[in-house]
Amino acid sequence: MLITDRSLLENFDSRHRVWQGIPGIARTKKGRTFISFYSGETSETYGNYAVLLKSDTDNDFGEPIVVVKKKGKFRCFDPVLWLDPLDRLWLIWNVMPGEEVYAAICENPDADELIWGEEFYVGRGIMMNKPTMLSSGEWLFPVAIWKTDIYPNFRKGGLKDDEKAGSYVYKSADNGKTFVCMGMADIRKRSFDEHMVLELTNGILKMYVRTTYGIGVSHSYDRGKTWSAGEDSKLGGPCSRFFIRRLKSGRILLINHFDFEGRNNLTALLSEDDGKTFPYSLLLDERND
């Protein structure tokens, strides 16, 4: 699925793309920026492929340096970029039908020549957001099994009768060599899940999930094995993706729509009390959609 040959990558240049969306971003310590998104065909359908671009200037990202595509009646979509604690760049993507998450790692993303390892299987479901590194050194990967009413036509033959839809976490305790499926949250009125996990200073884990009413939240008191009944986080939102992460300063950064009408007023919000309140805000983009 991983394509790095320049002669083959030309088939996925910008001149061949009629649409693109669902972006991701990662920036190395030396200032190289990577961006990802997916495209292919004329919409979100079979034949979709994920792409990776890079820039050392933030002005010109050029054409794809990596493409992920699976032959046949499949789609590769919703790529995720993550720089792990070892400064390795992860490219993570989903395959449907099959409901599977795969990844490949670049050991030195600042090198002149980027070398990618073999692709490998992460878990069962769909992963759309970055992992979380716990204070224990373990990594949690947010992988969801969507409800059956989401894209049912693409998923025929890919679902298993014994699988329960929910917002799962997969744990790796060996720097991504192996993964174990932990517990899951079942939050009412969730939409595409798109969940992220935040570790509080007291060790409690909070899982935030996209819902039709904004952002739902669930708690785990046993490091991700079990999760509480979901509730409204009161953070609001127009049923869209958000981002939450602890900064090196210890503050919590939340990217969400604030004082919004539909998908406008995308805002960065800052908390100094472990996410209880977000008194500081910076408007990033006031435009609609």
pLDDT in tens, the chain (289 residues): 999 999 999 999 999 999 999 999 999 999 999 999 999 999 999 999 999 999 999 889 999 999 999 999 999 999 999 999 999 999 999 999 988 999 999 999 999 999 999 999 999 999 999 999 999 999 999 999 998 888 888 777 666 767 899 999 999 999 999 999 999 999 999 999 999 999 999 999 999 999 999 999 999 999 999 999 999 999 999 999 999 999 999 999 999 999 999 999 999 999 999 999 999 999 999 999 8
> Cα–chain-centroid distance for residue 116?
20
Place of tokens 């970029």: 81
Question: For residue 232, which amino acid is it?
Answer: D
Return the exposure string of 147-180: e unless at least 16 CB atoms fall within 10 Å of the residue's CB, then b: eeeebeebeeeebeeeeebbbbbbbbeeebeebe
29: burial class by Cβ within 10 Å (0-12, 13-18, 19+)? exposed
Residue 158: the pLDDT is 66
- Whether omega for the bond prior to residue 142 falls within 30 degrees of 0, making it cis, is no
d(CA 168, CA 226): 10
Q: For 66-103, b where at least 16 C-beta lie within 10 A, e where not — what string?
A: bbbbbeeebbbbbbbbbbbeeebbbbbbbbbbbbbbbb
What pLDDT is attached to residue 153? 81
Q: How many CB atoms neighbour CB 114 within 10 A?
A: 18
> What pLDDT does residue 149 have?
85
The tokens describing 123, both together, are 């878990």
Q: Across the strands, what pairs with 253? A: 245, 270
The predicted structure's pLDDT at residue 159: 67
pTM: 0.95
Non-local (6+) Cβ contacts of 100 within 8 A are 94, 121, 123, 124, 125
CA dist 66 → 36, 41, 47, 52, 174 (Å) = 9, 18, 16, 5, 26
Torsion of the alpha carbons at 130, 134, 139 and 141, rounded to the nearest 10? -40
User: What are the tokens at 281?
Assistant: 């805000």
Report the sign of the C-alpha dihedral through residues 219, 224, 229, 233, in that order.
Answer: positive
